[in-house]
Structure 1
Amino acid sequence: MSGHDGGARHRSVRGAADAAPLDATSGPDAAAARPVPGPIAVLPDASAELVAAVESAGGVLAPLGDETRGIVWTANDGAAELAAVLRERRGIGWVQLPWAGVDAFAGLLGEARGDGRTWTSGKGAYAQPVAEHALALALALLRELPRRAAATTWQPDERGRSLYGAEVVVLGAGGVAVELLRLLEPFRVRATVVRRRPGAVPGAERTVTVDRLAEAVSGAELLFVAAALTEDTRGIVDAGVLAALAPGAIVVNVGRGAVIETEALVAALEDGRLGGAGLDVTDPEPLPAGHPLWAIEHCLVTPHVADTEEMTAPLYAERVAENVRAFLGDGRFVGRIDLEHGY
């Protein structure tokens, strides 16, 4: 899931926190014109895994040139650099971006509307490790593990809650949300999914549209944020949404930091309305030293590591191979970007 490593190269397979869209979809595909197949360039840096992925799927790997028809982009950001490549070579018909969330490329994607190219991302590719991390954060907070891990004396109190039978809301309906619902099944939670458009999601008792978010979270004990960052989702989890949760509720964010209003989250944690927050993503990010979230005992922050390179390298290589096959005419593209909605 985001490219927050300051432009470092060849970190694409690290993934990000696999921010999923509000809808579980690979994007428009059937009606779209297919790109013309041809040589593929892996830019700006080509790892052995990605080279093998392209070649194993039957793709022709070649340096960037006039004959290039597909690009696998490997940088965290570099939107301006990628835009320059695309301006110079109009024959490129397919672009693969590395992240699940593509907010770092928002400007470029906005300009790409109507350019006829096929754009794909890593959305859904890293769902398993990110969902696993979300569950780990939730369980750690429910069982008071941050406080107990910091203890230096025996503290036999009765604090701690169970996940079994909990009222849960998941914001987002992409790969992370779907995988998280699978992981939650043994706990027999009552799950509501909030998504952009109507439609059932496997594992959820009900789904509601995002305009009913405050209603959906009313009385919920646990809110998982697994949504992509767009202009529509920025700050959508605000003071009103947080106040609607059950007293002592826990919020877990593995989507994008700016989906939650940070000031409102800090206030809700400090005054005790929230029972805890597990954050793998923050706003700002990286979270600076001295930020109030670091000092809140029941706030557990992990530094955008829900999916590490060891976990995601094979997953991203598999995504690239799938889309190389589609580029060559064998099957559908996976993780297509909806340029109208920005993810």
Structure 2
Amino acid sequence: MTAPPSDPDPRPLAPLASVTRVGPTQHEDPLAGRSAAPPTGRRIAPGPIAVLPRPTALFVDAARAGGAEVVEISAATRGLIWLSEQRAEELAELLDAHPGIQWVQLPWAGVDGFSSILPRYADGRGPLFTSAKGAYSEPVAEHAVALLHAVLRELAPKVRAARWAPVRTGLSLYGRHVVIVGAGGIAAEIIRLLTPWRVRITVVRRSPGDVPGAHRTVTVDELHGVLPEADALILAAASTERTRHLIGSAELALLPEHAALVNIARGALIDTGALVEALREKRILGAGLDVTDPEPLGDDHALWSEPRCIITSHSADTPEMTAPLLAGRITENVRGFLGDGRFVGIVDPAAGY
């Protein structure tokens, strides 16, 4: 068992670069204004910035709002705002061809889509990478709480039944024990949203240290000790090789039969085969999944027909929700790039988040 990183954020199905206009800003970035210097006091040389692979007006304007000179990529380019996860290898080729690039802003909070690129910069050489980690906390946490209610109230089997149930069933969230795996921005927002239900919260994180609002904080080596006491388990950790199948047969067997499982992080955190078996055998109450492994699931996958499983097709945040948050992160990081050298959402290429 290895420690989970603290803050993922599910990527939307539609590309952010396709969003050209958004409505009024609904959400706030809890990390806005909380910039930090790069590790080891590294200084980033500022200069012109390129926005690729599709430089839509929303994000170009966000860069210019931070003072950027937005240009076509060239030998003079020093900053790069990259808006696609599906084209990671193209990004790698650009970085190889333009070694003068000092800083790269990535579009999502989770950076597992760039796992083929980041390790080559693990030694601290090459560009500084920043992500949107923490920026999407509010919409994702909102979705997590919605899934938690839906599983506890047994909405999935009820809506599938298509007949009046002879017995009233469902569990209340009030006073329950909720275990959250991960200690980043999404977890913090989930804790805040759960306050009215007077729940008891245990946070499982990779390193020791209290989490505001949690009643108890433990490290991942204590995960097995808290699962038997969990009424709900919410996964809000990043996906890395070390967290793959963090929840498998052994962990599911430790959960009580009335426990609800919610995953708004990455599908790979759960052993899908083990989950199918646990649901089929009714060893947990149900599962609310915004993410799956594989993703998307095949049309004939067993989880689609499992009556106590809700799948929401990676829609915990939508491009319309995340675009203004990313735009704000871009503006703030451009100011740091051109100014004091401090950034929000610095990525550790060695750790992969």
Per the alignment, residue 111 of structure 2 pairs with: 102
Note the alpha carbon deviations across 1:140-182, whole angstroms, 9 max, x for none. Answer: 1111222232343322522011101111100111111111110
- Counterpart amino acid of residue 253 in structure 1: N
Q: Which of the residues 45, 55, 63 maps onto 1:54?
A: 63
Q: Which of the residues 224, 249, 262 maps onto 1:252?
A: 262
Per the alignment, residue 17 of structure 2 pairs with: 10
Note the alpha carbon deviations across 1:175-230, whole angstroms, 9 max, x for none. Answer: 11111110011111111111111111111111111122111222201000011110
Contact 1:96 1:320 in 2 (8 A): yes
1:29 matched to 2:58? The reply is: no
Aligned residues: 332
Task: Give me the whole-angstrom Cα distance separating, in 2, the residues matched to 1:196 and 1:205.
Answer: 17
Per the normalisation by structure 2, the TM-score is: 0.89
Per the alignment, residue 16 of structure 1 pairs with: none
Per the alignment, residue 67 of structure 1 pairs with: 76
The offset of 1:10, in angstroms, is 2.4
- Counterpart amino acid of residue 71 in structure 2: A
Contact 1:12 1:99 in 2 (8 A): no
SS of match in other structure, 2:350: coil
- Counterpart amino acid of residue 237 in structure 1: I
Q: Which of the residues 105, 112, 129 maps onto 1:119?
A: 129
Superposition CA RMSD, Å? 2.1
Note the alpha carbon deviations across 1:51-76, whole angstroms, 9 max, x for none. Answer: 11101111111110111000000112
Contact 1:196 1:209 in 2 (8 A): yes
Q: Which of the residues 212, 215, 221 maps onto 1:205?
A: 215
Unpaired stretches in structure 1, ≥5 consecutive residues: 14-24
Contact 2:208 2:218 in 1 (8 A): yes
1:312 matched to 2:322? The reply is: yes
Task: Give me the whole-angstrom Cα distance separating, in 2, the residues matched to 1:152 and 1:107.
Answer: 46
Contact 2:85 2:114 in 1 (8 A): no
Structure with greater contact order relative to length (CA < 8 Å, sep ≥ 6): 2
Per the alignment, residue 137 of structure 1 pairs with: 147
Aligned positions of 1:156-167 closer than 5 A: 156-167=166-177
Contact 1:103 1:230 in 2 (8 A): yes
The offset of 1:104, in angstroms, is 1.1
Aligned positions of 1:76-95 closer than 5 A: 76-95=85-104
- Counterpart amino acid of residue 143 in structure 1: R
1:292 matched to 2:299? The reply is: no
SS of match in other structure, 2:191: helix
Task: Give me the whole-angstrom Cα distance separating, in 2, the residues matched to 1:87 and 1:38.
Answer: 18
The offset of 1:9, in angstroms, is 7.7
